[in-house]
Amino acid sequence: MAVIFCHITATITTLFLSLSLSLLRYLIEQRDVDLNIRDNWDSTPLYYACLCGHEELVQYLLARGAKCEANTFDGERCMYGSLSDAVRRLLKEYKCVTAQTMQRDHFYHFLHTLLEQGQHSDVKFLVHGDTFPAHRCILSSRSEYFTTMFETKWKGKNLITLKHPLINPAAFGAILKYFYTGRMDIDFSLVDDCRRLAKQCKMGDLIDELENKCKQLYEFVSNKPGICVKVLTLEPHNSRLQEDMAQLADCALPEQLRGGFGQLPFNKFDTFPTYPDICFRVDGYNFLCHKAFFCGRSDYFKALLEDHFSEGEMLQSQPSTPVLTLHNISHEIFISLLYYIYSDDTELTPENVLDVLCVADMYLLPGLKHLCGKTLAKTICEENVLHMWKTAKLFSLSRLEDQCTEFMAKIIERLVEQDEFAEMIKEDAASVEKRHKTDSIPLVDDIRYHISSNVQTFSAIGEASQKLGALEQLLISIDLEC
């Protein structure tokens, strides 16, 4: 009896874990839930998975890019709370800087690469023998101190030497990383050096963040004997970073299109030089932009500007700035694209989203396509769900496709009466290579899944059976089995 009970318990546990992993995969991969989200107790999904000893969940979260760097607050907390040795081994084997981890946030990865590789940089800092390439437009958008210095003491200089003995190169590099990505990873021994530089650069917010994080870590370590946190990490405030970068898009707009700014009590465009190095001409309007952003964000523009672009025409007002004319795009849609490239966000409406989606696909901007998919998902209704599903398939928007099939499952009894829906199923069946008569059809499988999922009550079982029956009748009528 004891053996049978243990077997049943193990089976139930395995089933529970598989369901938990399936739900987690669905939330992260289909619903785009942030896997590093924090609750009111500053705890992440990885921390709870470690605390409960869910080895499979821990392994999946680490593989997807969950944050658990050694000697950091998150890493030590997960290690301290791990229920089993197997989980601890997973955490120890985890490498914090991997290509997969960096790619979980394309905008952060782009800015990090821009700093590390210095592509299209226009200024270099020499700090006690260490050289740091940078971009004046980014530093100016993030710091009024740098804005002032580039127009006064450092004006016209491409190499700036910082000789002050109290400037630590490692701390300066950490400050630059904060400017570019909003993130800082710094050894505790360099916190005072970073605080000193932040004060010099008039970065009050960064000083407050450093002090609050230090206080939090001291409290954590004092209550956890044996824990040693050596690295202080500041997480990026995406909204603040995006707002600062969006200023560059603001400044790139032609004067004729800067509506609304004149109502402000000041005009930042008069005091905020951005040092553009490329002019895009769209509908006769000149947009003063930066190659670093367009090449780094889009392989299309990278090929256009670096490989095939012949610098013929130059801007008359700035003779050193080449002009590139873009065709088959309106200036309104280009503005939407412009803000996305600089800030990873843009204003989308039901009226312009399809045009932006086409442009995003043409200019190889998957993140912008993703934003368009989110906007389209909010407009799904019975009248457009079939067209929306076709759009999702055409542009490879898997999450929008899933949301459409989920909506179809809710109204399947009315959909089966539409000829267009029957034709869609036939086309989807025909698209399966070397499909046999009884092979599955992806669209039908997805609808069945959404009909059957989350069925928990007797009445829900009856409703699901009716829906599945209606779908089966349609398949029989069009001579398809699956």
Q: Go through the domains of the chain in sequence order and give each one's CATH number.
A: 2-100 (1.25.40), 106-236 (3.30.710.10), 241-374 (3.30.710.10), 380-477 (no CATH)
Helix ranges (DSSP H) in 275-330: 291-297, 299-302
* pLDDT given at position 293: 96
- What gap in Å lies between CA 378 and CA 383, rounded to an integer? 14
Is the pLDDT assigned to residue 52 strictly greater than 50? yes
Interval 411-450: pLDDT, tens: 999 999 999 999 999 888 887 655 555 567 888 888 988 8
Helix ranges (DSSP H) in 223-309: 238-252, 291-297, 299-302
**pLDDT category of residue 213 using cuts at 50, 70 and 90:** confident
Interval 317-358: pLDDT, tens: 777 888 999 998 999 999 999 999 999 999 999 999 999 999
Rg (CA), the chain: 27
Query: Considering the entire predicted model, what is its pTM?
Result: 0.76
Q: Which of 230, 227, 229, 233 is closest to 80 using CA atoms?
A: 227
* pLDDT given at position 482: 65
Residue 134 or 61, more confident: 134
The 10 Å CB-count burial string (b at 16+, else e) for 275-301 is: ebbbbbbbeeebbbbbbbbbbbbbeeb
- What gap in Å lies between CA 122 and CA 135, rounded to an integer? 6
- What gap in Å lies between CA 308 and CA 324, rounded to an integer? 12
